[in-house]
Amino acid sequence: MGKDTDKNLVGQPIFKQIIDFLPKEKFDTLVKKLGTDKYYKTFSSWKQLITMLFGVFNRCDSMTEVCDGMKTLQGKLSYLGLDSSPAKSTAGDGLRERSDEIFKQFYFVLLEHFASLLSVSRIEGISFEKFYIFDSTTIRLFSDILKGVGRNPKGDGKKKGGLKVHMMIDAHSDTAKFVTISEAKMHDKKFLQHLTLPDGSMIVFDKAYNHYLQFAQWTEQNVNFVCRLKSNAVYEVQDACFEKTLTDKEFGVFKEEHIHMNYKDGKEGKTLCLRKISYRDEKGRGYEFICNNLTISAEEIALLYKKRWNIELLFKKLKQNFQLNYFYSETENGIKTQIWCTLIAQLLLQVLKIKTETKKAFSTIAALVRMFVISHLDVFWVVTNCRRTYPKKAKIVSKSNEIQQNLF
Number of Cβ within a 10 Å radius of residue 266? 7
DSSP state of 9: B
b/e per residue 289-315 (b: at least 16 CB within 10 A): bbbbbeebebebbbbbbebbebbeebb
CA distance 375 to 76: 10
Nearest C-alpha neighbor of 122 from the set 192, 197, 202: 202
Amino acid making up residue 159: K
Packing angle, helices 332-356 and 88-97, rounded to 10 = 100
CA distance 85 to 77: 7
Q: Which pairing describes strands 224-228 and 202-205: parallel, antiparallel, or unpaired?
A: parallel
Residue 150 binned pLDDT confidence (cut-offs 50, 70, 90): very low
Residue 291 binned pLDDT confidence (cut-offs 50, 70, 90): very high
Which tens digits make up the pLDDT trace of 30-44? 999 999 998 888 899
Least confident residue range of 138-147, 224-233, 240-249, 376-385: 138-147
What pLDDT is attached to residue 146?
Answer: 54
Nearest C-alpha neighbor of 128 from the set 296, 299, 289, 305: 296
CA distance 6 to 9: 8
Residue 205: its H or E element:
strand 202-205
Which tens digits make up the pLDDT trace of 90-144? 999 999 999 999 999 999 999 999 988 887 667 888 999 999 999 988 887 755 5
What pLDDT is attached to residue 242?
Answer: 87
- SS3 of 302, please? helix
CB 169 within 8 A of CB 175: yes
Contacts of residues 83-89 at CB distance under 8 Å and 24 or more positions apart, as own/partner, are 86/42, 86/43, 86/47, 86/48, 86/51, 88/63, 88/64
Residue 162 binned pLDDT confidence (cut-offs 50, 70, 90): confident
- Exposure of 283 by Cβ count < 10 A (0-12 exposed, 13-18 middle, 19+ buried)? exposed
Which tens digits make up the pLDDT trace of 346-364? 999 999 999 998 889 999 9
> Residue 245, CB half-sphere, CA atoms under 13 Å: how many?
1
Least confident residue range of 7-21, 109-123, 153-167: 153-167
Query: Does the global pTM surpass 0.95?
Result: no
CA distance 128 to 126: 6
What pLDDT is attached to residue 393?
Answer: 47
Its sign, for the CA torsion 280, 285, 290, 296, is negative
